[in-house]
Structure 1
Amino acid sequence: MPTPANPDPGKILLVQAGVTSALYPFRSHPLGLMMLAACVRRDSPEAHIRIIDMKVERITPQGVAREARDGGFGLVGVGAFSVHADIQSETAHAVRGAAPGAVLVAGGPHATCHPERVLREAPFDAVISGEGEIPFTTLAQKLREGMGRDSLAGLPGISVLRDGEFIAGEPPPPADPDSLPRPAWDLVNLRAYERSSSFSILGRRRYMSLFTSRGCPFHCIYCHRIFGKSFRPRSAQSVVEEIRELADRYGVTDFDILDDAFNLDRARVHAICEALLKLPHPVTLAFPNGLRSDLLDDETLKIMRRAGTIYISFAVESASLRMQKLMRKNLDLEKAERAIRTAARLGIFCNGFFMLGFPGETREEMERTARFAAR
């Protein structure tokens, strides 16, 4: 029988770290954890997996620790954005105290950007940087086969500390998104997300978050780059089949697209929209992230609107050409402004992302950005 000191390696607890806060009220389905669960299940259908989204379940780090202990989970993964790095660390300390035998792994954007820091500040056994499906599935298999926590170094994509030395794992080749299984939708409470504001701030509704591609070839210096710099799109057929399946199984017809660069391939965008127009049920699309605005021409925006697009966040960041170069975003501001005006004219709700106070930015540059946003 599993005990806190000797838990079951076939039981996996995946945790999205976070806390309900007025400073960061938005919630989104933990797609990364849902993909990890789906990949483990594909290889080991008998695996017992639980997902906890701390913000949605309103659970504390101590509550997660009790779940890990009482459930006899042998593998605990904790992901986080940098805004919740302190919660990720606190959760790791709590789990280590309550379930000392569990293998603790950190992942997500924060751990990808700062793997060594995460290992030194919290009692994680390992960090997975970047895409986690292959490393996590391999790790879960090795633990079921009897591998101990002291033998994790050398596994693909796994970074560890050994005698105080940081040992970075060699990342595996990036996965083909079309080869991956569907996210484990059944492991999250869809109704709980209906009661929360999503990244697209469209109010409470039944929706699902969706990735249609991975990676972005641009070089914005503030980006977490968790999916790398190579653009890897899913086929239009795969995307539309997933949307159809969600509509048929769960009645979901509203979707938040969370890509890094959804519209990098114009022909694919048009193919997806044309296929959506042929579905027996209309859908709505929101883009709270990941549209390159200076690549959005009038024709593309028109077919996106016809296919159900009702919300777009335009990431302009700065109206200063000098700051655009310093950020390495290099956005064509004239094209971006035209895309925003076209989208608004088509009835698409437009939201803007802007940065003020970037290192080296002058007051005049900040005022120029404010004037651009107000136009």
Structure 2
Amino acid sequence: MKQTKDVVLINAPSQFYSVDSMGNEMQTDKTYSVGLAYVSSSVKRAGFDAGFIDGNFYRIPVDDIVEQVAEQRPEAVGMNVTLPNLSVVLETARKIKDSYDPLIIIGGPGATLLHDKIISHDSIDVVVRNEGEITVPKVLSGAELEYIPGITYKKNSVAVVNSRSEPITDLDSLAFPDTSIIPDELKETGIVSMFTTRGCSNQCTYCSTPQIWDRKIKFRSPESMIEEIDNYRRDFELKEIHFLDDTFTVSRKRLNAFLDAYVASGMHKDVKWRCLSRINTVDEETLIRMKDAGCYHISYGIESANEDVLKRIRKNITPEKAKDVCEMTSSIGIKTKAFFMIGFPWETEKEIKETLDYAAALDVDRVGINIVKAYPGTVLYEEVNRMFPYTSGFSSGIDYKGPEKIQQCLNKYAAIPERSCNPYFSTQELLGFAEQGFQRFMENRGEIQ
């Protein structure tokens, strides 16, 4: 394969809808792709020219994205799949291929989970699985595809799945995310997102993180984290950091080292931050230290108030412990959000309402009530397929060539799926439960009458 001189990376528009505090469907907040920012930096470090089109942030229609690509005519086009944007990615790839014939590379978490199905699309040349910072430059370099670990590609129209690439163990060795792809409108807000770990050692049956990374957690050093924050501060006025790690507090030793370094830098005085945490990884002393170091908001995944459900999804927490931690976090002065999931395949109306009652009474600032989705590669996905084969899965019978077939892909994996994982309730009925839960929570807070 010949070497590629330039590539355009595309953050495809997402059709990810969730439910707001009044139970209304809404599109998620506009943001940028940290994953593509890492790939962009790695590609540029390797000596390639990289352009960028943020179709998601600017809500650019597919035809306009295709027109921009056709005008630039890069030798390669890279797009990330997050599952909610799958249909848009496939449609964009098809239309780009219709206009001319660049190498089309697909990556991202959805690509890892569905690589064998995505490669069957006529327009897709290479699917990069797992981490892309090392693999994408290798693909662009012109190396023979059969010798590149971590990709799925076509050879004589037949899909070939290469061995997995070695996990990147030294996260500090990666180039910092490319700040040039952050929209100016976001820079003006002073808010950035950061990843400081990869992997998850927990056993939650619904989570696809171990399939995307693996179960062994890799950490960035506190020094690297501080240096990246300084990098943003040199580029624009930084006001707030959103740490996107599944569990920012998973290592007490690493957390304390970061808190010490952050306070020593003095940045905690004018750059606040928020994170995701887990109920069984914090205590009062830790929360106080986090608050003193600028943490203003923590989100906890509680998922259910029913102990049998929690055991079945291997959450390893109890409703009582979750309640205590949320109350403690709030009392210390850190804003708190709790996430819940309803619609597990065995879940009854009684169990769902038990969770909604619990959420409505919980001492937190906000709740998120999500409809259960069974992602490929998860224990839950296999369980749903065994119980109700028609409700989930990426059907091998789907033809990916036409827009109406692409819509089927979206229906399978959208944030609000066409069919729920629960045999007792439809997606719309589950959304109705979620709306009731939100309204009760807001009423209890006195925010609606």
Which bin holds the TM-score, normalised by the shorter protein? 0.7 to 0.9
Deviations 1:93-139 (A, max 9, x none): 11111222x10011112111111121224521011111111111211
For residues 361-372 of structure 1, the aligned pairs below 5 Å read 361-372=347-358
The structure, 1 or 2, with the larger RCO (C-alpha pairs under 8 Å, 6+ apart) is 2
User: Which residue among 172, 181, 194 is the counterpart of 1:210?
Assistant: 194
Aligned to 1:128: 128
Percent of pairs identical after alignment? Answer: 27
Structure 2 SS opposite 1:66:
helix
SS in 2 for 1:49: strand
CA distance in 1, matches of 2:354, 2:195: 34
Match of 2:393 in 1: none
1:36 to 36, 39, 42: 39
Alignment check: 8 A CA contact 1:207 1:254 kept: yes
1:104 and 2:68 are equivalent in the alignment? no
Q: How far apart, CA to CA, are the structure 2 residues paired with 1:249 and 1:54?
A: 23
Residue 297 in structure 1 maps to residue 283 in structure 2: yes
Q: Distance in 2 between matches of 1:122 and 1:270?
A: 50
Task: Mark the CA change 1:154 to 1:209 in structure 2 (over 3 Å): closer, same or farther.
Answer: same
Tell me, what secondary structure is at the counterpart of 2:329?
helix
Pairing 1:313–2:308 present: no
**1:105–1:124 contact (8 Å) kept in structure 2:** yes
Alpha-carbon distance, 1:31 to partner: 1.0
Whether 1:185 and 2:171 are equivalent positions in the alignment is no
Instruction: Give the alignment partner of residue 172 of structure 1, picking from 140, 165, 186.
Output: 165
Distance 1:51 1:325 in 2: 44
Rounded Cα–Cα distance in structure 2 between residues aligned with 1:240 and 1:68 = 36
Distance 1:25 1:122 in 2: 30
- Correspondence for 1:80: 81
1:290-334 CA distances to partner (integer Å, 9 max, x unpaired)?
x22221111111111111111121111112222223323223433
From 8, 15, 31, the counterpart of 2:10: 15
Find the residue that maps to 1:57 and give its secondary structure: coil
Partner of 1:50: 51
1:202 aligned residue: none
Q: How many residues align?
A: 347
Does structure 2 conserve the Cα–Cα contact (< 8 Å) formed by 1:294 and 1:332?
A: no
**For residues 132 and 52 of structure 1, what CA distance do their matches in structure 2 show?**
18
Unaligned 5+ runs, structure 2: 18-24, 362-449
Counterpart of 1:199?
Answer: none
Superposition TM-score, scaled by structure 1 size: 0.87
Q: In the alignment, is residue 285 of structure 1 matched against residue 278 of structure 2?
A: no
Structure 2: how far apart are the matches of 1:164 and 1:220? Answer: 37
Partner amino acid, structure 2, of 1:15 = I
Name stretches of at least 5 consecutive residues in structure 1 with no aligned partner.
1-6, 196-204
Of the structure 1 ranges 335-344 and 228-237, higher mean CA displacement relative to structure 2 is found in: 335-344
How far 1:77 sits from its partner (Å)? 0.8
How many angstroms apart in 2 are the aligned matches of 1:159 and 1:298? 47
Instruction: Report the CA distance between 1:79 and its aligned residue.
Output: 0.5
1:140 is the counterpart of 2:124:
no
Name 1:95's counterpart in structure 2. Answer: 96
